[in-house]
């Protein structure tokens, strides 16, 4: 096996974030250096507590956790996505408290230390609103420039919105931050709704975990998946749930899972109807230099197999 890719994960757990974190920790292709948390699916207090408890559940209290921004840079009418993820962010699944709190350094200071302290480039996987990432880029552009790349779950090129008809949740939540990140000059892979809406799992995919002697990891996964499935059934009328954030992690594990196209991407943050929309110049109409590699197609079957098999292995290894 070649040297693992070093990653930091900026996240707002969040059910699909939690599964994405599990996928990352279960993947020998990755070395997870730190988690940083942001307000999004639920408030920062919950996302930080959820990150700490998830790591404790998975026996990884050694991984740094830094708390970041609770509110967006500018926008003041963003609201958590409680319908999708529950008021606590994990669909009501109760996890054991962790024996520690977040690191005294905040998210940005921690990111700076971790990126500067690594003797090889680090990939930043961003699974929530881009507030912390924008703060890093603003505070320390020299450190951001050392990143291998940013792989972010957010936006859409042809499939535009899940929060509004024009906007995906993470970009909608903090569009000013997203605009600054896309303009930062750091290589970006954008994993948006074009591909994440196809990156689904069905309840039956998790049957390997539904045993009489299910351990705490299996119980947590099934509890979250059940909540997420109920939400999808009620709102979309399907049992297939989009594993948005896991696809972003999977793209680092196996880049061949998606086909990307370089394109200029900007973010609309003033439009009354389109605030939070990613404007993706797929046909190079404006003749700007590309700012991101935009994922347009996905091998959804291979992704689903990777996610479920890795999470099942993780559960077995912790029994
Ligand atoms: C994104 O928004 C959140 O609900 C999910 O965690 C994911 O990061 C999908 O639009
Ligand atoms: Ca998320």
What pLDDT is attached to residue 232? 96
Instruction: Check residue 112 and give its pLDDT.
Output: 98
Q: Is 16 in the pocket of ligand 1 (CB under 6 A)?
A: yes
Give the pLDDT score at 2. 87
Predicted confidence band of residue 204 (pLDDT cuts 50, 70, 90): very high
Catalytic residue among 85, 227, 244, 288: 244
pLDDT at 64: 98
Q: How many A from CA of 52 to the centre of ligand 2? A: 16
pLDDT band at 212; cut points 50, 70, 90: very high
**Counting atoms of ligand 1 from 1, which one is nearest the CA of 162?**
10
Residue 4: pLDDT over 90: yes
Residue 174 CB–ligand 1 contact under 6 Å: no
Q: Is the pLDDT of residue 281 over 80?
A: yes
Residue to probe by mutation, ligand 1, list 9, 79, 81, most atoms within 8 Å of CB: 81
Q: Is the CB of 17 under 6 A from ligand 1?
A: yes
Rounded to two decimals, the pTM is 0.98
Mean pLDDT, the chain, integer: 97
Whether 249 has a pLDDT exceeding 80, the answer reads yes
Examine the pLDDT at 126 and tell me if it is beyond 80.
yes
- Predicted pLDDT at 102: 98
Mean pLDDT value of segment 121-127: 98
Kindly report the three-state secondary structure assignment for every residue of the chain.
CCCCEEEEEEECCCHHHHHHHHHHHCCCCEEEEEEEECCCCCCHHHHHHHHHHHHHHCCCCCCEEEECCCCCCCCCCCCCCHHHHCCCCCCCCCCCCCCCCCCCCCHHHHHHHHHHHCCCCCEEEECCCCHHHHHHHHHCHHHHCCCCEEEEECCCCCCCCCCCCCCCHHHHHCHHHHHHHHCCCCCEEEECHHHHCCCEECHHHHHHHCCCCCCHHHHHHHHHHHHHHHHHHHHCCCCCEECHHHHHHHHHHCHHHEEEEEEEEEEECCCCCCCCEEEEECCCCCCCCCCEEEEEEECHHHHHHHHHHHHHHHHHHCC
Chain segment 50-67, per-residue pLDDT in tens: 999 999 999 999 999 999
Ligand 1: nearest atom to the Cα of 196: 9
pLDDT in tens, 213-244: 999 999 999 999 999 999 999 999 999 999 99
pLDDT for the residue 263: 98
85 belongs to the catalytic site = no
At 167-187, the pLDDT tens digits run 999 999 999 999 999 999 999
Residue 127: CB within 6 Å of ligand 1? yes
pLDDT at 1 over 80: no
- What pLDDT was estimated at residue 103? 98
Mark the residues whose beta carbon lies below 5 A from ion ligand 2. 12, 14, 17, 127-128, 245
pLDDT in tens, 77-116: 999 988 899 999 999 999 999 999 999 999 999 999 999 9
Q: Average pLDDT, stretch 27-42?
A: 98
């Amino acid at each position: 096996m070649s040297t693992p890719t070093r990653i930091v994960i900026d996240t707002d757990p969040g059910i699909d974030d939690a599964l994405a974190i599990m996928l990352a920790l279960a993947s020998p292709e990755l070395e997870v250096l730190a988690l940083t948390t942001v307000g999004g699916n639920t408030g920062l207090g919950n996302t930080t507590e959820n990150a700490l408890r998830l790591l404790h559940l998975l026996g990884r209290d050694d991984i740094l956790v830094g708390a970041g921004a609770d509110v967006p840079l500018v926008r003041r009418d963003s609201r958590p996505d409680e319908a999708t993820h529950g008021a606590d962010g994990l669909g009501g699944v109760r996890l054991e408290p962790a024996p520690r709190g977040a690191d005294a350094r905040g998210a940005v200071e921690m990111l700076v230390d971790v990126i500067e302290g690594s003797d090889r480039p680090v990939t930043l996987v961003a699974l929530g609103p881009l507030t912390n990432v924008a703060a890093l880029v603003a505070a320390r552009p020299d450190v951001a420039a050392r990143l291998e790349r940013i792989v972010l779950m957010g936006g859409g090129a042809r499939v535009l919105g899940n929060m509004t008809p024009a906007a995906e949740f993470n970009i909608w939540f903090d569009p000013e931050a997203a605009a600054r990140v896309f303009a930062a000059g750091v290589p970006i892979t954008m994993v948006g709704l074009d591909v994440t809406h196809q990156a689904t799992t069905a309840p039956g995919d998790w049957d390997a975990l539904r045993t009489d002697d299910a351990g705490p990891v299996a119980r947590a996964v099934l509890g979250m998946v059940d909540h997420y499935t109920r939400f999808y059934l009620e709102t979309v009328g399907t049992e297939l749930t989009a594993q948005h954030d896991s696809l972003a992690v999977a793209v680092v594990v196996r880049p061949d899972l998606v086909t990307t196209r370089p394109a200029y991407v900007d973010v609309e943050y003033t439009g009354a109807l389109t605030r939070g929309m990613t404007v993706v110049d797929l046909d190079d109409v404006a003749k700007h230099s590309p700012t991101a590699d935009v994922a347009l197609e996905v091998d959804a079957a291979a992704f689903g197999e990777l996610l479920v098999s890795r999470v099942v292995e993780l559960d077995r290894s912790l029994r």
